[in-house]
Structures are given as C-alpha cells and as structure tokens.
Chains A and B, each alone.
Chain A
C-alpha cells in the first residue's frame, strides 16, 4: 500500500520523521518495501485554463487556447482536453523529469507553444493516459505549480494478508499511535445534512454475502475535477483522479479503508437489490469488459419494472451502466461489508484484483460504513457542491466485538518472557482492545477493524509487537526426544552417505529441475509422464520427470566442451509413486587425457565405479543382462544390489546418442533406498591358498557370469575366490569363440589343502565345464 507521508501527518500530526518511521513500521510488521520521493513538478509548468478546445480535422488532436496568464496555443492529443478546465502547461524550455525538453513545435500546421501535461509527464503520478485536469478556479492562471505542489514522501508498505486494517492511512496511523502512545485524529466528518427523502428502495436478498449494506444519497452534484490537494494525494497513493465524485470514494477508501461505490441515481430505476447472479447473466464492467457471471457471484442489481439488472459486481467492480459521468446529478453511495470468501471467489474467477476486492477479501471493519459514508458526503458537498441527505439505509447494522480470552501468564509461557501483567494489558488497551475482568483469564474485546485477532495467540502476538520482539531472550530447549523419533533421519543419512561415496569416487553432483518436456522424455525413451504442470512457466516443459538420466543427458549437452564428464544426481522422480532415484553418467575417460593418455572409459569404467560404491557401502552388486529401452541392446543390464533388482546400467542406445549428437555415454539409474549390505564377521585366512589357473573356451554369446556360476557350483566349498584375469579372442580359437581365463583360489579355514585335494576340485570343475559343451584351453 502506498502511504503519502503528508496524509499520515494529517491523521497523526506527531508522527516521527520519515527515516525513523521506516524502522518503526518494520518493527510493527508493516515493513516499507520502498520509500519513494515524489518531487515537485519542475519549474516552467504553470496552471492554465482551457478557453477553447477545437478538434483538428482528420486527426485525434485538438487545438487548445489556454489562459496561462497570457494566451497560449498548444496542440494536445489527450481525450480529456476540454474547454473550461484547468491544466498543467509546460512552457517551452521546460525540462521534464524524463529529461525531455519541451519546445515550440508545429503539429499539423499549427504552432504548439509548449504542451499540456499528463501526471506521469510531470513526474507526480503514474497516469499517462490523459491530462492532469484541475478545477478552472484552482489557482490564478500562470501560477507556477512548483510553488503549490510540495514534494511528497511515499511509503510503499508491504501489508501481510492478515493486516487488512492497515490498508488505509487511518489503519497505519492507529498502529503507529499504539506503538508511540499517541492520539490519532480520526476524521470526524460534519457534512451539512439535509432532510431529503431517500429516493429508492434497497433490499438484501443474500445477507450472508452482504452482512451490512449501507446506502447514502447526494444530489445537486456538479461533476468536475477534484481539488488540487486531493488529486495530489490520490496520485501519490498511486490512484488516477477521475472526477470529484469517484475521487471522493477513492479518497475516503484510502483514508479510512472502506471500499465505496457511487452509482448514478438515474441508472437505478426503483431501487437496488443485493443478490446472487443468475446463470448466464452478463455485465459490462467499468473497465469496458463484458463479463459472464456465475451463480456464486454476488451482484448489485437495479430494479426496473418487474426485472432487476446487475449494475455492479459486489465488492469487486462497478458496472458501466450506472457509472458516474459528466451528466450525473444525483448519486447513491454504497458503503457495505461483504463476505470475504465470496468476494475472493468472484475476483479470482473474473481474474480481477481491484482496490475494493483486495480489501474485502482480506476483511474490512464491518462497523466502518457509517463513518466512510459520512466522509464521502462531506467530500462531495465540498468538491461537487452536493446537497447531502441525512437519511440513509443501513441494512444489517452494527456488529459486536468478538470476545477472546487472555492470560498474561500464557503470553510469557509462549514467548519465554517475563512481561508484567500490567504492561501486557496496557499494550492491548493502546490497540483499542477493551479488557474486562479483574484477573486472568481476562476477557478481551478487539476492535472490529482488527479482523485478525480471533484467538489468544493473536493477542500474545500483539503484546510482543507493542512491547518489542527485541525484549525476547534467547534460550535453548533441553529435552530428549520421544523414542519413535530416533530413527526418523535414516533416509536423509542414507542419501547423504550415497552422495559422499559417489563424490569420493570422483563424481560431480548436479541438481536439475523436476520438470522437463514430454518430447525430451520420449526422445530418450524414458517412461511417459504421469503428472503434468497445469500452469508451466515454459509451455513445453510441462511434465514432471519420470527418471533422472534425461536430465543428466541434458547436462552432458551443456558440457560438450569437456573431455570427460562424470555426473550423478540424487533426486525425486514422479511415476505412479514419487520415487527417489540415483543416476550416474560417464562420458569420456575417467581421467581425461593430458600429456598421458586418458583412461577408464565406457561401460566397464562406470560399472567399476558402481562396484566400488557398493564395496564402500558393504553391499554386493551384480549386473545381469537385460533389455532397457534407453540402452544399447548389447550393453545393458539390470543392477542387482544385495540380491534385489534396483535399476539398470549400460551404454546409451546409439540411436538416442545420434539424435543428441553426442558419443554414447555410460549410464546407470537406481531406485532408492538400496538394500543394506549385511555382512557377518569372517575369520581372516590362517592357512595358505592354492591357486590354479584355468582357461575356458566358450561361444561368444556365453556371459562370464554363466561360466563363473558353473565353476562355483562345481568347485565345492573350498573355492575362496574366482578371478577373471583374461578374455581372449582370435587364433588359434575358432570364429565366434572366446577364452575366459580364471584364477581359482582354494583355501580351507583349518588346514593347508593338499595338492591331491586341489587337483580333485579342479578336475570336478573341468568335468562340469566340459559337460556344458565348453572346452579347456591348453
């Protein structure tokens, strides 16, 4: 919320200086996002009255004749340039805040001596769509605006959703006053109320939607620009001045916090009804958009004949059909209180957030409408010469304060403080909270503007806010957790351990987005997406990842220049269940070539790293041939960890690699948690081993694992280890044959094996191998 400092001073004359105020607001929980200095208009901008405005044929421009103390002719393209109003005229030579230098120019064959300005061009507001329009008698023509337009400090406050009460000058003033022990000058409007008959009937069909609906009446209005000071403030608050009636609603809104809406009486027929919209009902709103309403939307409707026609979307935006315009002479003012949820639903559905809806959905003081209405009447009386009515219709009436129990001892228990009871009660009273009772639990009655104060903890916070969070000491709780918490961190610890093991082996960790494009997933043959983003920031990347390796492949592409890449990621993937995966990628050699050749490449390098990781974790891992969509059909396997399949490892399918334009890397992807290795103690060997070598010739397609399994089965219980030490192809072996050479290491725990025993074991192995149709070499 933008809070002009001068406006605050009007309600809180003793407010501290701006710099001090900034720190104080932060301490109160109303932090200043930005402090803006709105400067005076630059020298050379003068007040002028438009004497004549004549359209220039064939253009959207107008030729203006101005009285700026002397007659001046300028050309303006502004729609709101019209005769009889005051404008800000920049004389030639004026340098505008953007650095633009105003000159005498010729436009459409007409000399324009300087220019008439919009607020944005003067640097005093954001509105650039039309001229600053002032009453013709605002100032003597030719007056330098800089002399009557002081600079303004504006605090842009960050108001949290609970503090709807602080969305007004009055609300901020109240909080400051409570903190400083000052008095707020609450506006006390005193319009001259006339005894006018109230001209329409008002009904609320839906009192849940509108629990208070107050309407007031003013007539004899002369629509025109608002006074200079009012416009100055509205501009500083970020509003666009429109006309004296609309500005009066906005002025009262910013000052007091109650959204107001003025209807042109002439558009309301016999009266107003507050009701839900009918299915299919449409309304053209003030922004010129036709909107389709739903049965959930609360509308204000005008009674015409037997029918009712929507003239406003309640609490959100008015209708164009009842807009206050040049011809309006009578208005009905609405000062209401609407159901926050209903307003929010409608605003969300319409995609609109207005000053009104923003406040109503957060909660407005239900007892504010009478004051806000009186303030409006006072303003239109002063600004538009209106005759204002004493009679109004207030349906729903005043609301009582909520009762909240309050125990000062609880404050201290929750905060860990020692605040005396007296100080606590005093803090609450300063916030206009009424306290009843002689001892705790006290009965506290927060003012109705504090919609956020509903439970005792809310009052504790108010005490802390006013007495100061800096008074809270720093302590450390000492206790032992309940037993069922002790194992709660196991998954985290396991993940951290895996990360450390892999980085210890030389892997670089990466972190990728959890979303990706379905096309990429399909391109790298990952599972199809299960979950999609409804509202992705990038329309293509709208799928939650179903595996980690697609991200690693993207990382590989992002690091094409590197001779060697060894990445891992540990993260969530989104299949039918959300799973935690661990994936690794090796491209290029494990150590890259330099003055020595690189070394350790491809499938067996990555497999070796995985085996080393398993060894570090005390787990057994093996790879069984398997088909995996993303992998080379001949270099792919299932990873079996402690006997359980947990994922896969292999070389990326060449077709995918080709499409990505990279050499195929080695990849693995495992699902966590990995089964824990369970190893019992084994006595270290005390007797020497006997080692025999054996080379087996097998068909090319026979895997090592199969041969090893045959050997293990046949060798008997004394085979302590089996090590593959050579794989040979070529002469004198036949085509399609390979030789696998093994060390067979035999050992007994309790004695030295004899040669005869070991010979017997080897013979059994040879017999088993031969039985498979394989032969022993040499």
Chain B
C-alpha cells in the first residue's frame, strides 16, 4: 500500500497533482488520516503496533511529498528562467551620455592644474571697454601695439546709444581681467581667468575670429620671473608629463616688462617626437599697469595698494593645445557644433 502511494507521489506531474495526492492521503478526510482516526477502535496491543506503522508511513509520505514538491518547483523555476532569457548582446537603451565641449574640457583641465596650486578662477565681460582692453594695459591710443590686436569694435544699435556711452570692443585678450581684478582685490593673490577672446581675422584652418585663452596673474611683494617659470613648468608637467620643459624667449607685450614668449617641450605621444610649442606670452606686470590700477582704485574710493608690488602674468591659447592633443586639423570645427565632432572628445579629468 505505502509503496504504491510513494510511487504515485514520485510520479506526480505538477504541484497541483501533488497537492491533490496530499489531500487524498493526508488531508482531514485523507485515507491515512482516516486510518489514524480508526486506531482507537483497535485492541490496545494491535493499536500500538498499527499506530507506529501508520505514523512511519505518514512521515514517509510527507517526506516524499516535500521532496517531490522541491523537484517540481525547481523544474518550474528552470522553465520560467528559460522562458525569461534575454539576448544580453542586444544594445541597451540609448540614453545620452552627456559631454562637455572639448574646449571646456581642456580649459577645465588647465584651470584645475592651477587650482591645485592655489589659484582661483575668475571671470570677466566679453564686450569690454577700450580702457580695460588697451589703455589701462599700457596700450594707449595710437600705440603701434594696437596693430597686434585686430579688434572687433562695437557700436550701439539704433536706440541704444545712451545705454553705451563708452567705446566698447570684443576683448582681444583675457588681460583686461587683470585690471578689473586688481582694482577690486587686495594682494597677494593668485588667479587664473579663462574665457573667450576675439580677433578680427580672416578665418582659415589655423585662425579663428573667436578663441579661448587662459590668463594667469600672481601679485605679491616678492613675486619674480623665476616664479613665473616655475608656475609654467608645473603646468607643462601636469599637461605633458615629467619630461616637459619650459623655455622663455624675449618678446613684447606692453603690459609686462620684461616680456617673454614661453615654449613648452612636448613629445607627441603618437610619433614619440618632441618639439617646442609656443604656448603663449608672459612677463612681469608693467609698473604702468599697477599705476593705472591704483588710479582706478582711488577713483573708487579704495586705497592704492599696488605701488611696490611685483607680479607675473601669462596668457595662453586653448584651441592650440586641444588641436595638438587630438590632432584636430581645422580650428573651425570647434564652433560648428556637429555631434559627430563633439561626441569624440570625452572628458578625461
């Protein structure tokens, strides 16, 4: 009898069938349950013997049911998993990854290098007053150095003349921020100023009318040209590795004296060949700039603080660094904003 039942349990095709068997055998009115209930009618000696036998059978049946249930559940799970399987090689949902413009990336990297050296990044206007762009930087009207800056001059649109009484231009360099900053802040300090600058130039693969610069300015009581070289060397090494070197060549920018152009020794990772890259101009802040700043401060009712200070300033072009790094052949690609171009440059910092 028990053997038949056990065989029936082992052969149960589903959890439902198994449950039906359990009810039929072990339910309230189940066959075994009935027999157990019938034990009381047996004589005592037979009762004990039969009771033991029936209880053993019950335990055996329960164990068999549990075991079969386990098997059936496993089979059902296996079937479900098989049915749910996906081709994981299918592409995921194409969420946009998001990306900074490549020039923001490079500029951000440069600013980051200087931030780690304790510089603070400051900003200034792009439509600048002639005074800040030229005069205060020791470039008076009719100075030949103005020829070095092909300038986009601005004029108010009709009806806005009264709003813009002073001559405006699109800043030709980030250096006006030097004057703006010093006229409102106390030395010593270290700042960098990233931003767009504009030159009235015919555009071609290497010339753009709009591009980006990073300006640097450090002013204090004993700032030296050697400090400038050290700062630029630290930048060059952060950009191009520990072999990078910095070279100064005499040059001329009216707002610094001495004035230099700086070059960085750069090894092209693709070719392994090195070359000197002209990255920008620099020098020691010209005393005329400090004088203009102090005058401006006095006009604002601030104490003149810059007499007797020394400082260095530098300016460098961002597009050139990006073009070299990514081998971009044409500077004009930066502002066409084609996704196929922008997509290629993924933030490295």
Contacts and interface: CB of A to CB of B under 8 A. Distances in A.
A771 interface: no
B188 A481 contact: yes
A531 interface: yes
Contacts of B233: 474
B268 interface: no
Contacts of A567: 337
B123 to A, nearest CB: 5
Interface string B306-336: 0000100000000000000000000000111
B109 to A, nearest CB: 12
B115 to A, nearest CB: 8
A460 B226 CA distance: 14
Contacts of B160: 530-531, 576
A496 B250 CA distance: 35
B58 interface: no
B14 to A, nearest CB: 36
Interface in A142-180: 160-163
A492 B252 contact: no
A361 B144 contact: yes
B248 interface: yes
A482 B152 contact: no
Contact of A499 (B104, B127, B198): B104
Contact of B337 (A482, A484, A502, A558): A558
Which of the listed residues A475, A481, A503 has the most CB atoms from chain B within 10 Å of its own CB? Answer: A481
A455 B250 contact: no
B93 A599 contact: yes
B249 interface: yes
B330 to A, nearest CB: 15
Contact of A511 (B163, B231, B310, B337): B337
A681 interface: no
Given A503-B99, A566-B96, A535 B152 contact: yes
B168 interface: yes
Interface in A120-145: none
Nearest to B347: A503
A594 B108 CA distance: 34
A489 B121 contact: yes
Contacts of B343: 508
B259 A532 contact: no
Interface string B111-146: 100000110111101110000000000000011110
Given A477-B220, A503-B100, A472 B226 contact: yes
Interface string A450-489: 0000010110110011000110111111011111111011
Nearest to B160: A530
Contacts of A414: 224-225, 258, 284, 310
A595 B86 CA distance: 14
Contacts of A100: none
Given A415-B225, A508-B99, A590-B95, A160 B251 contact: yes
A162 B95 CA distance: 57
A461 B98 contact: no
Interface stretch (B45-53, B70-78, B202-210): B202-210
A189 interface: no
B252 A163 contact: yes
A92 to B, nearest CB: 41
B147 interface: yes
B82 interface: no
B218 interface: yes
Nearest to B98: A503
B249 A544 contact: no
Contact of B104 (A340, A485, A509, A578): A509
Nearest to B225: A415
Interface stretch (B5-13, B22-30, B59-67, B189-197): B189-197
B138 to A, nearest CB: 11
A329 interface: no
A417 B155 contact: no
Contacts of B147: 161
A531 B156 contact: yes
B97 A506 contact: yes
B91 A512 contact: no
A413 interface: yes
A479 B186 CA distance: 13
Nearest to A344: B142
A740 B188 CA distance: 61
A747 B343 CA distance: 47
A160 B339 CA distance: 41
A505 B97 CA distance: 8
A504 interface: yes
A365 B295 CA distance: 33
Contacts of B99: 503, 508-509
B206 to A, nearest CB: 14
Contacts of B152: 533-536
Nearest to B105: A509
A69 B20 CA distance: 131
Given A474-B233, A514-B170, A596-B93, A461 B189 contact: no
A465 B250 contact: yes
Interface string B222-241: 11111101110110000000
Contact of B94 (A26, A486, A499, A591): A591
Nearest to A487: B120
Interface string B269-313: 000000000000000101100000000000000000000001000
A589 B100 CA distance: 20
A477 B223 contact: yes
A31 interface: yes
A599 to B, nearest CB: 7
B240 to A, nearest CB: 15
B142 to A, nearest CB: 5
B93 A475 contact: no
A574 interface: yes
Given A482-B185, A543-B157, A591-B96, A464 B250 contact: yes
Contacts of B188: 479-482
Contacts of B2: none
A544 B154 contact: yes
A769 B104 CA distance: 51
B246 interface: yes
A740 B342 CA distance: 42
A362 interface: yes
A107 interface: no
B96 A564 contact: yes
A473 B94 contact: no
B95 A489 contact: no
A492 B121 contact: yes
B18 interface: no
A559 interface: yes
A603 interface: no
Which of the listed residues A31, A414, A473, A571 has the most CB atoms from chain B within 10 Å of its own CB? Answer: A414
A34 B141 CA distance: 31
B33 interface: no
B85 interface: no
A500 B105 CA distance: 11
Contacts of A457: 257-258, 284, 286-287
* Top 6 A-B pairs, shortest CB-CB distance: A416-B226, A29-B250, A416-B224, A461-B258, A506-B96, A160-B252
Interface of A: 26-29, 31, 160-163, 340-341, 344-345, 348, 361-362, 413-417, 455, 457-458, 460-461, 464-465, 469-470, 472-477, 479-486, 488-489, 491-493, 495-496, 499-500, 502-514, 528-537, 543-544, 555, 558-559, 562, 564-567, 571-572, 574, 576, 578, 590-592, 594-596, 599
24 contacts: A29-B252, A161-B145, A162-B252, A361-B142, A457-B284, A460-B258, A461-B250, A469-B250, A472-B229, A474-B246, A481-B188, A488-B181, A488-B191, A492-B120, A506-B95, A506-B97, A508-B342, A511-B104, A513-B209, A513-B210, A530-B156, A531-B164, A535-B152, A564-B94
Given A461-B259, A469-B248, A508-B343, 9 more contacts: A414-B225, A415-B258, A469-B247, A474-B246, A485-B191, A502-B98, A509-B101, A511-B334, A572-B125
